[in-house]
Amino acid sequence: MTAFEDEIDQNWQVFHQQWTSQIASNWAQLKGSSSIFVDSYRRLSSLNALRVYVVEKKLDKDSAAFFLEAHNDALVSHVSASFGAWRGSLQSLRSCVENTLCALYYKDHPIELEQWKTGAHRIGFSDLMAYMERHPALSGVDKTLTGLEMLAQEYSLLSRAVHGSAATFRMTDQINRILLWSTDPARAGMWQTRERHVVNGICLLLIAMFRNEFVGMKLQNVRDTLYYAISATARSKLKTALKISISRP
């Protein structure tokens, strides 16, 4: 090992010690925002319930795997946000939207799914959205209740974070300063808004797509968790338009 390599390795040891110890410190500083993360976890319970009781029963194993990945993306976003890695948490939310749409697309396209497994098929967000907007299962459902408009808007915002096309999504605050994370409470509030809208949109999309599963007294346990994820306005519209009642458990 050269002296130069030895110096780099020593720098790595210092860097590794600093960032691993900083995680615990960040969480301690963000405890003042703990209600944000409690509310987030309640919302994420709705994705888990939808996965177990709807997606895995209505989709084949391979297409359902996309939604499992979407659920995992949402959890990664939650954990990343809990220690202040905001940009990474927003990137995971973007992936969550993509994987949800892929699950529903590949459910209807088994040939393309087989091609995807070999790397021979890829589909972009615009094409996924165009397909979902024409989906017969969503025919007759008010656009505000399909979740698609909300997901399209959030995807656009989250893409700006992924591509670094807006200063508000940068982690660095000075040209000569590197920041892996930030404990600024304002960042927590910004993340909370994005995560709340993404989960709300996904839940509405799955309810609209499989609405026959929710009528009457069906899936009461799932509807109990959905209360924490779906806005009051959307809950009221669901009850009026689709006869699906979601109330506080």
Residue 177 has pLDDT above 80, yes or no: no
pLDDT in the model for residue 133: 96
Summary mean pLDDT of the chain? 90
pLDDT in the model for residue 179: 55
Each residue of 216-228: pLDDT tens digit?
889 999 999 999 9
The confidence band for 194, taking pLDDT boundaries of 50, 70 and 90, is: very high
pLDDT in the model for residue 208: 97
Q: pTM, whole model, 2 decimals?
A: 0.90
Cβ-based neighbours of 241, under 8 Å, separated by 6 or more: 141, 142, 145
How far apart are the C-alpha atoms of 103 and 88, rounded to whole Å? 23
Dihedral sign for Cα atoms in the order 133, 77, 37, 168:
negative
pLDDT in the model for residue 163: 62
List the Cα angle 116/121/124 in 5-degree steps: 110
Q: Which residues of 193-211 are buried (b: 16+ CB within 10 A; e: fewer)?
A: ebbbbbbbbbbbbbbbbbb
Amino acid letter for position 238: L
How far apart are the C-alpha atoms of 28 and 50, rounded to whole Å? 32
Contact between 211 and 242 (Cβ < 8 Å): yes
Which ranges of 109-243 does DSSP label H, i.e. alpha helix?
110-117, 125-133, 143-146, 148-162, 185-209, 220-226, 232-237
Stretch 188-210: mean pLDDT, rounded? 96
Contact between 125 and 92 (Cβ < 8 Å): no
Cβ-based neighbours of 18, under 8 Å, separated by 6 or more: none
Chain CA centroid to CA 18, Å: 29
Residue 120 has pLDDT above 70, yes or no: yes
Residue 124 has pLDDT above 60, yes or no: yes
